[in-house]
Copies of this chain bind each other. A is one copy, B any other.
Amino acid sequence: MLPLSSRESARRRLLDALRREGPLARVEIGQHLGMSPATVSELTASLIDEGILMAEDSADQSPGLMRGRPKTRLYFAETLGSVVGVWTGFNRIELRLVDSAGRTRASRHVERRLRNLEAEELMDVLAQTIATFAEESGARDVKAVGLACQGYVDTRDGIVAWSPVLGTRDLPLASGLSQRLGKPVLMENDASAMAFAIAQRNADLRSGRTACLMVGDGVGLGFLIQGELYRGARFGGSEFGHVRLRRSGPQCRCGGRGCIEAYLADYALHRDAQLIDHRPAPTLLLPSEEAMSDIVGQARAGDPALLNLFHAAGEVLGDAVGILIQTLEPDHIVICGPGTRAMDLLRPSFESALESQTIPELRALATIHVVESSMDLLTEGVVMQALRDLDLDLARLKAA
């Protein structure tokens, strides 16, 4: 939250690089980050001293076909413990156990719907689910929990002001879980977490401005400036999916009408597909991947009513991206999440809507990346953020 000191930021960049790239020798770190060998030596010396990093045993080297002094790679100490990342979707909870080096040790998803629960019960269930997962994954050293969900998430105070997946408003979820689990709990908006995870895997996206539109269960936006998440006044990202694009459009889970989400989200497409067949409108649950594949398959086979649905959705996506381009002028636009499964169906109307909304000079600025990512990548993002927080805590602990 508070601005990082020069040292802290160098330290963070160093540890970030090690998590992304795996073990690196000091020279390599210097090349990656543009630091002098002297600086890298000094930084790594204190990180090793603090027990965060370890130096590779020179014995276990790669084949002996290289000249010169061999590299000694640095890696994260196992003793640092691990972090559990959690995503709570509409009727599913994704869990991931990650060690301090950023390697996934275990992952699982649990079918569970939280919306019908009271605040206390909800937190009990969630805490229990996390604890069970950690135990059954054989983790004895969980240092923190990172939790992402849709909606307005106050990342600083760990309060969910409103979320379509929870029944209650202004829920102090972080403190509630923290109490139950005896560990710090860090909250994040889900689209922000996804944006961060995707940027960790693509260096291009970590330079300039990247707007990451996640389409799936809902529609969210994560915005990165130079690889760091943009933070608004209170809530991390923005619930961009609830921007109202059509004054009298279809019903949205937020209570409004014509939101971006009400056209593009899985639940919306599924609901509208059911309505075409005159079947009873389903509840607003997250439809299964099979159900969605089915709809996409029928549309690809030429079902005209379904094609219309995707046409309208693509148009809304084009308008949404147009707004982002005109407001933020990003260098990169990423469209990600399960919704990309139908990108071929969305594309024609997406592109024509985008064209009709922006001048060519502006459109040419942003590279549009379509990244097929599933929701479980999301837990990776929130874990990475939690790990970085832990790094910082460790540093400040030693300093005090």
Complex alpha-carbon distance, A361 and B239, angstroms: 12
Of all chain B residues, which has the CB nearest A257? B356
Contact A326 B170 (CB under 8 A): no
Interface residues on A, range: 35 or more
Kindly specify which of A95-103, A126-134, A230-238 makes contact with the partner chain.
A230-238
Contact B328 A232 (CB under 8 A): yes
Contact B244 A319 (CB under 8 A): yes
- What are 15 A-B pairs at a CB distance below 8 A? A161-B361, A208-B233, A209-B232, A232-B365, A233-B330, A233-B331, A238-B326, A238-B328, A238-B329, A239-B326, A243-B322, A244-B322, A244-B356, A254-B359, A323-B327
Of all chain B residues, which has the CB nearest A366? B233
Contact B359 A162 (CB under 8 A): yes
Of all chain B residues, which has the CB nearest A330? B233
Complex alpha-carbon distance, A256 and B208, angstroms: 29
Q: Does A247 contact B (CB under 8 A)?
A: yes
Taking CB atoms and an 8 Å cut-off, the chain A residues in 299-357 that contact chain B are 319, 322-324, 326-331, 356-357
User: 10 closest pairs, A vs B, by CB?
Assistant: A232-B329, A161-B361, A233-B331, A233-B365, A233-B329, A238-B327, A243-B326, A234-B365, A238-B326, A244-B357
Complex alpha-carbon distance, A365 and B231, angstroms: 13
Q: Which residues does chain B contribute within 8 Å of A327, judged by CB atoms?
A: 221, 238, 240, 243, 323-324, 327-328
Complex alpha-carbon distance, A357 and B249, angstroms: 13
Q: How many copies does the complex hold?
A: 2
Q: Interface centre among A152, A208, A359, by most B CB within 10 Å?
A: A359
Is the contact region of chain A dominated by helix, strand, or loop, or is it mixed? mixed
Q: Which residues does chain B contribute within 8 Å of A238, judged by CB atoms?
A: 326-329
Interface bits A230-273 vs B (CB < 8 Å: 1, else 0): 00111100111011101100000010100000000000000000
Q: Does A362 contact B (CB under 8 A)?
A: yes
Of all chain B residues, which has the CB nearest A154? B361
Interface bits A118-137 vs B (CB < 8 Å: 1, else 0): 00000000000000000000
Instruction: Say yes or no: A256-B362 contact (C-beta < 8 A), given A233-B208, A233-B209, A322-B243.
Output: no
Of all chain B residues, which has the CB nearest A332? B233
Of all chain B residues, which has the CB nearest A236? B329
Contact A234 B329 (CB under 8 A): yes
Taking CB atoms and an 8 Å cut-off, the chain A residues in 202-243 that contact chain B are 208-209, 221, 232-235, 238-240, 242-243
Contact A356 B234 (CB under 8 A): no
Q: Which residues does chain B contribute within 8 Å of A6, judged by CB atoms?
A: 6
Taking CB atoms and an 8 Å cut-off, the chain A residues in 351-376 that contact chain B are 356-357, 359, 361-362, 365-366
Interface bits A39-64 vs B (CB < 8 Å: 1, else 0): 00000000000000000000000000
Instruction: Say yes or no: A247-B246 contact (C-beta < 8 A), given A161-B362, A256-B356, A362-B152.
Output: yes
Interface bits A279-296 vs B (CB < 8 Å: 1, else 0): 000000000000000000
Interface bits A64-84 vs B (CB < 8 Å: 1, else 0): 000000000000000000000
Q: Which residues does chain B contribute within 8 Å of A366, judged by CB atoms?
A: 233
Complex alpha-carbon distance, A249 and B197, angstroms: 39
Complex alpha-carbon distance, A42 and B243, angstroms: 50
Complex alpha-carbon distance, A366 and B161, angstroms: 15
Q: Which residues does chain B contribute within 8 Å of A256, judged by CB atoms?
A: 356-357
- Given A233-B366, A254-B359, A327-B328, 16 more pairs with CB closer than 8 A: A6-B6, A161-B361, A170-B361, A209-B232, A221-B327, A232-B330, A232-B365, A235-B329, A235-B362, A238-B326, A240-B326, A243-B322, A243-B357, A244-B357, A246-B247, A256-B356
